[in-house]
C-alpha cells in the first residue's frame, strides 16, 4: 500500500536517531527520530510534529486538536479515545494501533494510511481524505458522516455498522470488505463498488427485499 505515498514513510533511513525506554517531552522532539517504548509527555504548547516514528509509546495526553503531523508513523501505540479534531495529516501511517473511539472529526488527511488497527467507533465525520487508505482494520460502528473522499481505498476492513450517511461514495470500492449492514444515503450511492454477496446490506435502503 505504500505506493500511495509520495514519499516512503516506511523507509527506516528517514530515522537516524533512536530513543528507547525514556520519558520524552513533546517540546524536545527531534526530527528523524524513532521513539521506542517511550512515555511521551504532550505539553500544552504541542502543535504537531514531523519526521518521527512512535513505536509502542504511551502518551500522557491524547488531545491533539488542530495539530499538524507530517511524515509521522504511529506503530503499536494505544491512541484509544484520542482527539485529533481539526488536525492535518500528510504522509502519516497508523499501523497496528488501538484507535477505538478516536475523534478525527473535521480532519484533513492526504497520503495517509490506517493499517491493521482497531478503529471501532472512530469518528471521521466531516473529514476530508485524499489519496488515503484503510486496510485490514476493525472499523465496526465507525462514522464517516458528511465526509469527503478523493481517491480513497478500503481493503479488507470490517465495516459492519459503519455510517456513511451524507457522504458521496462514487468511486469507492468496498468489495473486499466485510459488512452485514452499513448506513448510507441512497441518493449518494451511485458509483459505489460492492461484491454480489454484499448487495443485501445495501438494497434495503431502497425498500427492496432479497429472497432466496
Domain locations in the chain? Answer: 12-61, 63-206
pLDDT reported for residue 11: 44
pLDDT reported for residue 12: 42
Q: What is the DSSP string of 18-86?
A: EEES-EEEGGG--TTEEEES-EEE--TT--EEEEEEEES-EES--B-TT-EEEEEEEES-B-TT-B-TT
- The three grid cell numbers given for residue 88, joined into one nine-digit string: 492535518
Q: 63-206 architecture in CATH?
A: 3 Solenoid (2.160)
* Contact predicate 179/197, CB 8 Å: no
- The three grid cell numbers given for residue 26, joined into one nine-digit string: 513533546
Mean of the per-residue pLDDT values of the chain? 91
Q: Give the count of beta carbons closer than 10 Å to the beta carbon of residue 102.
A: 27
Model confidence at 159: pLDDT above 70: yes
The SS3 assignment for 209 reads coil
pLDDT reported for residue 8: 43
Task: Give tens-digit pLDDT for 165-204.
Answer: 999 999 999 999 999 889 999 999 999 999 988 877 776 6
Model confidence at 72: pLDDT above 90: yes
- The three grid cell numbers given for residue 50, joined into one nine-digit string: 514531523
Task: Give tens-digit pLDDT for 2-60.
Answer: 434 444 444 444 788 999 999 999 999 999 999 999 999 999 999 999 999 999 999 99
The SS3 assignment for 187 reads helix
Handedness of CA 180, 2, 189, 107 (dihedral sign): positive
Q: What is the pTM of this model?
A: 0.90
Amino acid at each position: 500500500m505504500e505506493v500511495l505515498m509520495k514519499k516512503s514513510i516506511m523507509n527506516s533511513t528517514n530515522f537516524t536517531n533512536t530513543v528507547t525506554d525514556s520519558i520524552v517531552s513533546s517540546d524536545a522532539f527531534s526530527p528523524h527520530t524513532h521513539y521506542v517504548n517511550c512515555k511521551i509527555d504532550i505539553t500544552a504548547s504541542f502543535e504537531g510534529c514531523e519526521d518521527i516514528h512512535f513505536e509502542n509509546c504511551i502518551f500522557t495526553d491524547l488531545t491533539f486538536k488542530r495539530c499538524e503531523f507530517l511524515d509521522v508513523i504511529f506503530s503499536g501505540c494505544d491512541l484509544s479515545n484520542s482527539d485529533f479534531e481539526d488536525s492535518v495529516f500528510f504522509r502519516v501511517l497508523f499501523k497496528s494501533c488501538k484507535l477505538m473511539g478516536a475523534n478525527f472529526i473535521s480532519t484533513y488527511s492526504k497520503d495517509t494510511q490506517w493499517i491493521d488497527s482497531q478503529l471501532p467507533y472512530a469518528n471521521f465525520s466531516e473529514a476530508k481524505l485524499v489519496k488515503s487508505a484503510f486496510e485490514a482494520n476493525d472499523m465496526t460502528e465507525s462514522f464517516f458522516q458528511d465526509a469527503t473522499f478523493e481517491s480513497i481505498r478500503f481493503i479488507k476492513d470490517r465495516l459492519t455498522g459503519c455510517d456513511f450517511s451524507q457522504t458521496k461514495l462514487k468511486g469507492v470500492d468496498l468489495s473486499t470488505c466485510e459488512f452485514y449492514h452499513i448506513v448510507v444515503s441512497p441518493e449518494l450511492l451511485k458509483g459505489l463498488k460492492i461484491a454480489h454477496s454484499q448487495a443485501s446490506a445495501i438494497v434495503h435502503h431502497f425498500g427492496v427485499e432479497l429472497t432466496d
